[in-house]
Amino acid sequence: MIPHDLFDLLDYHPHMGQLAFHDSDARFKVLIAGARFGKSLAAARDVMRDILSGESRGWLVAPTYELTRPEFRYIRDDLLSRFHGNVAESGYPPSLNTSWGAEITCLSAHTPQGLLGDEIDWLVLCEAAHIQRDAFERFLRARLATRTGRLIVPTTPHGHNWIHELYQRGLSSNPGWRSFQYATWDNPGIAPAEIESARRDLPDDTFDEQYGGAFTSPAGRVYREYQRGLHVVEHLAPPDGALIFKAIDFGYNSPFACLWGAFDRDGRLLILREHYRNNLALSLHAEVIRAVDAEYEDAGCEIGPGFADPSGALERKTLRDEGVHTLPADNRVSGGIEIVRRRLLKAGDGRPRLLIDAGCTNLLREIDGYCWTETSKGDRLPHGAEDHALDALRYLCVALARKVDWKNAGTLW
């Protein structure tokens, strides 16, 4: 718990939501909040106890240096106003060094390899919902290990991406984790009229995310039609005698993704299962694929064509040598996205043309985080921290855009 005499030293008067956040002594704290709640200020003041305690090293990490500015400015202003002669500031990367040995450095997650190196006492992930999972899991998490460092995650949600998973950890009995969720209006300094103005001006889902701090908004999402309650089903199974298809996106350091799918009797595409692993040889992936195929054959299904990344000719040959035959997929992105989107729409019976088994957790996570980004030329491109299972889904939907006769296990070209 932060001593209240530190609040007095900093002339800091936290509101009730910030105070609840500070009062937790959890090692890992996730602060999900709407815009202008005061999460950047709370994060900066929370690590001041580490900075003022003596020798320490802490990092502020964001997707860009610019996004570390709010937290860095609060820390810098606090230190310079009270310990001016004992604090040295550097410009690139933005950093502070105190005479008692505290180091504060801003870093960009845009190039994750630059995050390797030092052991640290605390880490703040600024606007963490826009940081790639890989940057945290492979390059940042281990920096906290040696000194049992603290983690602060202040962010506004951005779909159900990996930050939602961190948030869920803090709601469970996971040791050392604590999560908080607040809306903009939990900050008493925000005028109610401003809140109501935003509510009128914004789509409901955007308002709920940006002001309500809720993990609900599809704003900017490529697959806006996707809804968990509509498209995700527990324990999907193919109909008797179904033809089982699969699609593969290759990867080694990045995940290798394989999806299995089949049509039901109404022509609805069922995504039944996923295999999603990195750092495995193709022969081991092939072993898993053959085993899953055998399970479906034992259940009376027939194994149909597989479709794989067309740029991976060598990988497809290796899989063929291992007994897994695939065809080169159509990898046109924009047209493929439109085919997937049409599948997500409701059919005449009110149900969508695409259902996904709840066990396909990586595919579902990627759908939530797959958003449009604008290039410097003004073009709109899809972008996700990870899109390997999504690529496989696109390959499959494009390949199966033509009708399949499930009963006779034949493709009607």
**The domain boundary residue, chosen from 210, 243, 258:** 210
Band of the pLDDT at 402, cuts 50, 70, 90?
low
Number of folded domains in the chain? 2
- One domain, residues 286 and 345: yes
Domain assignment present for residue 217? The answer is no
Secondary structure (H, E, C), 322-364:
CCCCCEECCCCHHHHHHHHHHHHCECCCCCECEEEECCCHHHH
- What is the model's pLDDT at position 217? 52
Weakest mean pLDDT among 76-90, 218-232, 387-401: 218-232
Domain assignment present for residue 317? The answer is yes
Domain assignment present for residue 367? The answer is yes
- What is the model's pLDDT at position 412? 26
Domain assignment present for residue 218? The answer is no
Domain assignment present for residue 112? The answer is yes
**The domain boundary residue, chosen from 155, 180, 210:** 210
- Kindly report, residue by residue over 270-306, the tens digit of the pLDDT: 999 999 999 999 999 999 999 999 999 999 999 999 9
Domain membership of residue 77 as a residue range: 4-210
- One domain, residues 167 and 64: yes
CA 284 to chain centre: 27
**The domain boundary residue, chosen from 175, 210, 245:** 210
Q: Bigger pLDDT: 202 or 244? A: 244
Domain assignment present for residue 282? The answer is yes
In the structure encoding, which two tokens stand for residue 78, read together?
């606090």
Mean predicted confidence (pLDDT) in 380-397? 87
- One domain, residues 378 and 270: yes
Predicted TM-score (pTM) of the model is 0.59
- One domain, residues 32 and 140: yes
- One domain, residues 195 and 296: no
* 231, 354 Cβ separation under 8 angstroms: yes
- One domain, residues 136 and 248: no
- One domain, residues 161 and 287: no
* 192, 184 Cβ separation under 8 angstroms: no
Q: What is the CATH number of the domain that holds 93?
A: 3.40.50.300
Block residue for tokens 């350091």: 253
Residue 285: which H helix or E strand, with range? helix 282-298
- One domain, residues 363 and 393: yes
* 268, 262 Cβ separation under 8 angstroms: no
Q: What is the CATH number of the domain that holds 320?
A: 3.30.420.280
Domain assignment present for residue 221? The answer is no
- What is the model's pLDDT at position 413? 26
Mean predicted confidence (pLDDT) in 173-194? 95
- One domain, residues 116 and 59: yes
Say if residue 412 is exposed, middle or buried (CB neighbours under 10 Å; 0-12, 13-18, 19+): exposed
- Kindly report, residue by residue over 14-42, the tens digit of the pLDDT: 999 999 999 999 999 999 999 999 999 99
Percent of the chain with pLDDT over 90: 74
Mean predicted confidence (pLDDT) in 374-381? 53
- One domain, residues 254 and 113: no
Asked if the model's pLDDT at residue 410 lies above 60, the reply is: no
- Rounded to 5°, angle at Cα 236 from 235 and 239: 135
Say if residue 80 is exposed, middle or buried (CB neighbours under 10 Å; 0-12, 13-18, 19+): middle
Mean predicted confidence (pLDDT) in 57-85? 94
- One domain, residues 238 and 197: no
Domain assignment present for residue 222? The answer is no
**186-217: b (≥16 Cβ within 10 Å) or e:** bbeebeeeebeebeeebeebbbbbbbbbbbbb
- What is the model's pLDDT at position 204? 77
- One domain, residues 156 and 276: no
